[in-house]
Amino acid sequence: MLIRRLFPRLLVGLLALVAPCFFPREAVAKEPGEIGPRELRRRIEAILGQAEARRGSWGIKVIRLPDGKVLYARNSDHLFQPASNMKLFTTAAATEKLGPDFVFHTTVESDAPPDDEGWVGNLYLVGRGDPNLSGRVLPYQLKAERRQPADAAFQDLADRVAARGVREVGGNLVADDSYFLFEPYSHDWAEEDLQWGYGAPVTALAFNDNALFLHVRPAGAVGALAQVWLEPLPDYYRLVSRVATRAPGTKEKIVVERAHGSMELDVWGQVPLEARETDEEGTVAIADPPRLIGEMFRRALESRGITIRGQVEVRHTNRLEAATQASKDDRPPPSPPRELLAEHVSLPLREDLRVINKLSQNLHSEMLLRTLGRETKNDGSLAAGLQVLEDFSAQAEIEQGEFHFADGSGLSREALVAPDALIKLLKFMAASPRFGVFYDSLPVAGADGTLSDRFKNTPAEGRIQAKTGTIEHVNALSGYMDLPSGQRIAFSIVGNSHPLDSKEGEKIVDRIAVTIYEWFARNKRKI
């Protein structure tokens, strides 16, 4: 009986001694779906083992460039909400399909040239997806800058129309938004997002990022109402303000609310006496950008002595019209060509790619997605743009099951992407002859864009160029690391369904990124 009891223990002990001969140490104690150096795995697990982080789901992948050797992976084939990492697909596809030198054209046209007395019938202000008709200073340098007036491009167009001899518009002034299908919002965007600048309506004719800046300045005395105003169009909404100035040290709280479709903007709350004036971080969406632009352009023309006899008309393309245009049998005969009176040509697309990725600009990304559809499929719809992204993903050898695209910016909660797909995209772009443009569009750790305040005083400062991603309970960071050895690696870190606030989520992502960098950068060795 004693021999029987001892035998199982002896067998277990023997297996413990010989197991390392058959099973390498790196294969022991892995999390499901995790591969890579054991010590690196341990360090990352320690970061993700924190009480709040461990409640979430995390996907990570790291590869060596250019050959794609996998250096570390954790749940990299799982699908995650990418947040603004979705912009990597949109900007990469645009870089390849449209090219860095693509330009946007905004024109003023008439049915016929002005007659001898300067008369024309209808006048058309035609938008074709230019997202930078605003006061933004381009090229972008380290931080967002704006100059006034924000409507300088439209004022210049009005000057050019007057220079062509137009003195009277006998018909309507048409704000032509028909370059895109009229679908200003993705179907699953949260209603609460739509009042803010980051959820502004998507239009082909846009102004000032289709948003207004909300400014709040405390009054000079405790108890008095703070100053609240909008810029650059202070009277666009009926502003109802009840923001009180409170004693120094009081916690600032400002609530902004606009019912969908309403032109009343309610602002209330409190600001401490010593608070600084709020800046562009507070932006509210413009309810109907083409209508606003049409009225604004009308005033610009009238100030130059041009009489508008008709009304401001907004022209969209609805789904029925789009379907008719797509059908050869039902397609109406082409209209005669219009007379070009004035034109605004944008800077090359490469400049807006920097705005999109460095500032994580949602509207610009959505406009670019629809431009991709219009320019490559003659269909300026969300669906056509998403089809372009799917076709492009196939070029990058990304499999269908590795993504589900729902918009171009990542604001959608239905978008799903695996870290494997993000890594394949990054590897594909690293081999592209246009890679320099794509790489240059990404934020630099500790230097600019959405990474300007991250990775400061860490070994990774200035060594990471990557796209951030943040929505509620989601944090992501995907891009490139340059090691001291001169080698470059691509990485993707995506966290979902965690209870951390956005800043705490960023800290977890950044600790993982620095840990990855330090591991592969140590001793400046080749990997």
Catalytically active residues are 84, 87, 360
Instruction: Work out whether strand 339-345 and strand 403-404 pair parallel, antiparallel, or are unpaired.
Output: unpaired
Burial of 457 (0-12, 13-18, 19+ CB in 10 A): exposed
Q: Give the distance, in angstroms, between the CA of residue 18 and the centroid of all CA atoms in the same chain.
A: 54
Terminal C-alpha separation, the chain: 55
Q: Give the residue from 438, 373, 425 showing the smallest Cα distance to 399.
A: 425
**Whether 424 contacts 478, CB under 8 Å:** no
Closest CA to 104 of 446, 507, 374: 374
Q: Please list the helix, strand and coil fractions of the chain in percent, rounded to the nearest 5, in that order.
A: 35, 25, 40
CA 123 to chain centre: 33
> Strands 307-308, 253-257: parallel, antiparallel or unpaired by DSSP?
unpaired
* SS3 call for 187: coil
Site of tokens 């840990």: 515
Distance CA(275)–CA(271), nearest Å, equals 6
CA–CA separation, 30 and 20 (whole Å): 15
CA–CA gap between residue 271 and residue 253 (Å, rounded): 6
134 and 361 in contact (C-beta within 8 Å)?
no
Closest CA to 142 of 456, 347, 464, 358: 358
